[in-house]
Structure 1
Amino acid sequence: MQNEIVVLGINHRTAPVEIREKLSFTEKELDQALSFSSEKDELEETVIISTCNRTEIYCAGAGLKKNSDAVVSFLTDFKGIREEKMKDCFYLYQGQEAVEHLFNVAAGLDSMVLGETQILGQVKEAYQKSMEKQRVDTIFHALFRQALVVGKRVHRETAINDHPASVSYVAVSLANQIFPVLKHQKVMVVGAGEMAQLTIKHLCDEGVKDLVVVNRSIQQAGKLVELFGGRVEDYNRLLQIIPQADIVISSTSAPHFILNKEKMTRVMEQRNHKKIFLIDIAVPRDIAPDVREIPGVNLYNMDDLQAVLENNMKERKLAAKQAEKVISQETEDFQNWLNTRRVVPLITALRARAEDIRREQLESALEKLNGLSEKEKKTVERLSKNIMNDLLRIPVLRLKEKAAEKDVEGCIASLCELFSLDIEGEQGEKEKKSDRGF
């Protein structure tokens, strides 16, 4: 019987964070859940992807064709929750839809930030964890390896990552355009909010080392310095410190402009009009908009950054259209491979039966043909093999072609009866031998 692939999940679109928290898995729980899944007869292979934005259970098994609810039961039983409370948050895909969903996830097309790459590493980690717990076999080895290939191919062949997709990252990208070597620039942060912290993180990722944090709360500023290095300065010294900075990130809760055109004109005179990059991510704004009229001043506020971000997301969505074509092709390729597996046991059994007949007839013929040289014996054996292979070649090709058709099970049953083949029996013997370690 053909194994069915099923995925059950929740993500940022289907469930609020309080639900996602309940269904997320710690490292310890992942080990326990994978062991627990091995006790479920229908779940022959299991991979669990658990991130802050999604929890997904991927399962494969012959029994899932008729009982996909076994995956739901597995999750709710393990987590000790009632299915009724969660059913509106779940999505469940089977067969080709499940394959396509995984490929979309690996490529970042199902992420909160379209096209993000972190999820690809998380898919890889989930697959490796299941391998360690011996919860993957032929189907999932092929599926998850191909998912990793698909993710890499999408990022390589499309422009989905060419455009920053967060306000903080957009700000750093713009700074990169103004300063050829960003890591050599001096950065000053006014305020110590979450957006400022994210922007500093991206700047530090680019190699920036020289950091000053200016804030009314020295304690809050100290937390940023602990995270990213640098030093803390008193807010009252703001105008004395700004001339030393190349990049200024301003994110205070002041009800008025802390920097206006007059103040920045004096700052630029002290800098000898050397260019400066101002990122105003405060709402209401910290920096007067007419500051950008001063030569050498590059000012971006939240509206500017949001406009760039929206344009970038449009570009990402265009790239996502290309990615969908890649995923559609890869899904079809995997499905063709999976369909072909449906007839593999029959082809194997057919070849084995033909080989038994060939050997029996060859031995009988060689007994009658006494006195043949070794070379002549090999010629006769080669002839028997060629006859067998030629006879099977077209039936095998036709079987592979029919593998994707709905009535292939009937075709398999007819051929088993016609040639007296017991596929399930032979398959069962193989599994018993495997269990005994043969």
Structure 2
Amino acid sequence: MHILAIGLNYRTAPVEIRERFALAEQDKLQALTTLRKTKSILECVIVGTCNRTEIYAVVDQLHTGRHFIKAFMAEWFGVPREEFIDHIYIKENDAAVQHLFRVTCGLDSMVLGETQILGQMKDAFQFAQANEATGTVFNTLFKQAVTLAKRAHSETDINKNAVSTSYAAIELGKKVFGYFNDKTVLILGAGKMSELTAKHLHANGAARVLVANRTYERAVALADRFQGAAVEMEKMKEALALADIVISSTGAEGYVVTKQDVVEVMRKRRNRPLFLIDIAVPRDLDPAINDLDGVYLYDIDDLEGIVEANMRERVREAEKIGMMIGEELVAFKSWLNTLGVSPLIHTLREKLLAHQQEAVRNIQNKCPELTEKEMRMINKQTRSLINQVLHDPIVRLKEMAGKPGAEEALNMFITLFALEDQFEDAAQQNEREEEAYIPVRHRRILIGQEA
């Protein structure tokens, strides 16, 4: 049994290639069902976002798994193999698990540390699980990945530092005012950057959002999306008098707000402080505004300096998450190594406990004068002795499961403890119990061993 991750993302493929592998919502189930029924595939999850399309699979053999997944991609998406083969990456076993952890934690995202991918990975797994495309391995692995990502974001500061200019503008405003709950914000412009800014402001609880734009209808459309109010550009000075924070991104030629405009506005404001952020290129706000008392002006260069510093902080936090990923990889490998020996451990324990129970019954038959309390003590102590005797063999058994030549060593273990008949019965029972949620083709094969 092996784990594969095959896909393409914003680093390996241009958008004209990535868009050809977009998976429509209505096609997800059929695509997943087709992949799950593909030869060599034991479990599978398909992840599709605007920046990546990835297939995670448990396969019986590496070479056949790689071949049939690439064939599925070519056939399902209608893209000849030679047109995408140079754009895909293939991760195997440990590398595949590590890749899954990194993606889920946001370390493989275009914006380092973003959290949206966590929800997308979780949704993809739950969809596959609900449609019986996952089993023992992925049910454990993906839950571990989601838990790890949540812990990574809660125990580090990776997503607490703004790495986009629009969000950096909001963060700068928060550093000055502390919060936006009682603040009026004026947005000049209704383009994409203004939309992102309005979104961040709304999410941060701005009490009142005003939008001014030369095309009034666009100002209305943007303001309505965030429960704000539109302002005609001719009445901009009136809005400036009301605002605590001004964020400008119009793309206009020349200054939208001049020093003289602000001088007039500050008289009406009775010198109440005014905080302005200019994220336009060329600049919307006259740099001379910064000479006025009680007025604080920041431009795109100021924000980019903040973004660069914050990105360095995110990289440092990503290193912490990398260490967490290493620990989780070891934990998953340890669990995976024991997967194939669980029936053997169960068989050995049951055999020794059966001998213990027989011994307790013999004691009770030969010493009928023993009280119920004394028999409970004997039963407890003898079970404790069994657990002590089992400890070292079980530890060694788990260690052997992850090493080369594991099958031969495990067969020797079965022979030494005379477990042949019991192990076969336990394995069959375990397989019957797992069939309720493991795909039928999921055979019990040690990790790293070809079928």
The alpha-carbon deviation at position 27 of structure 1 amounts to 2.5
CA distance in 2 between counterparts of 1:80 and 1:317 reads 38
Per-residue deviation, residues 16-69 of structure 1 (Å, max 9, x unmatched): 222222222233222222222331242222222222112221111434476333
> Which residue among 284, 288, 309 is the counterpart of 2:286?
288
Determine which structure has greater relative contact order: mean sequence separation of CA pairs < 8 Å that are 6+ residues apart, divided by chain length: 2
Confirm or deny: 8 A CA contact 1:8 1:56 kept in the other structure: yes
- Out of 216-225 and 306-315, give the one that drifted further: 216-225
Change (3 A) 1:397 1:238: closer
Structure 1 Cα separation of the partners of residues 383 and 152 of structure 2: 45
Equivalents in 1 of 2:309, 2:282: separation in Å? 23
Matches within 5 A, 1:3-42: 3-42=1-40
Structure 1 vs Structure 2 CA RMSD: 3.2
Deviation at 1:435, TM superposition (A): 5.3
Deviates more, 1:376-385 or 1:114-123: 376-385
Is the Cα–Cα contact under 8 Å of residues 350 and 421 in structure 1 kept in the other structure?
A: no
Matched pairs, number: 432
**Other structure's SS at 2:187 match:** strand
Alpha-carbon separation, structure 2, partners of 1:402 and 1:436: 29
Q: Is the 8 A contact 2:348 2:419 kept in 1?
A: no
Q: 2:408 aligns with which of 398, 407, 410?
A: 410
Does the 8 A contact of 2:106 with 2:114 survive in 1? yes
SS in structure 2 at match of 1:22: helix
CA-CA distance at 1:187 after TM superposition: 2.0
Structure-1 residue corresponding to 2:239: 241
Q: Which of the numbers 44, 52, 55 marks the counterpart of 2:53?
A: 55
**TM-score of the pair, normalised by structure 2:** 0.85
Is 1:115 the equivalent of 2:117? no
- SS, match of residue 55 in structure 2: strand
- Cα distance in structure 2, aligned partners of 1:117 and 1:415: 47
SS in 2 for 1:7: strand
Q: Of the candidates 149, 152, 169, which is equivalent to residue 151 of structure 1? A: 149
Give the deviation of 1:15 after TM superposition. 1.5
Alignment partners' CA distance in 1, 2:276 and 2:385: 80
SS where residue 267 of structure 1 aligns?
helix
Measured after TM superposition, the shift of residue 95 of structure 1 is 1.0
Structure 1 stretches of 5 or more lacking a match? none
Out of 175, 180, 183, the position equivalent to 1:182 is 180
Q: Alignment partner of 1:201: what SS?
A: helix
Partner SS for 1:184: coil
Q: Identify the residue that residue 344 of structure 1 maps to in structure 2.
A: 342
Residue equivalent to 1:421: 420
Cα 1:32–1:375, aligned 2, differ >3 Å: closer, same or farther? farther
Aligned to 2:77: 79
Alpha-carbon distance, 1:128 to partner: 1.5
Q: Secondary structure at the match of 2:194?
A: helix
Distance in 2, matches of 1:133 and 1:390, equals: 43
Distance in 2 (CA, whole Å) between partners of 1:16 and 1:90 is: 11
The offset of 1:194, in angstroms, is: 0.6
Find 1:333's aligned residue among 331, 334, 346.
Answer: 331
Q: Which residue of 2 aligns with 1:130?
A: 128
Gaps of 5+ in 2: 438-451
Q: Secondary structure of 2:280's match?
A: coil
| 1:158-209 Cα deviation digits (max 9, x unpaired) | 2212211211111011111222341322222222111111101111111224
Are residues 75 and 353 of structure 1, via their aligned partners in 2, closer, same or farther at CA, if it must alter by over 3 Å? farther
- The alpha carbon displacement at 1:417 in A equals 5.6
Q: Please report the TM-score for the alignment, with normalisation by the length of structure 1.
A: 0.87
Q: 2:186–2:240: 8 Å Cα contact kept in structure 1?
A: yes
Q: 1:282 to 1:433 in 2, by over 3 A?
A: closer
Q: Is the 8 A contact 1:116 1:161 kept in 2?
A: yes
Contact in 2 for aligned 1:10/1:89 (Cα 8 Å): yes
**Relative to structure 1, is the Cα distance of residues 405 and 266 closer, same or farther in structure 2, using a 3 angstrom cutoff?**
same
Instruction: Give distance in 1, aligned partners of 2:369 and 2:12.
Output: 72
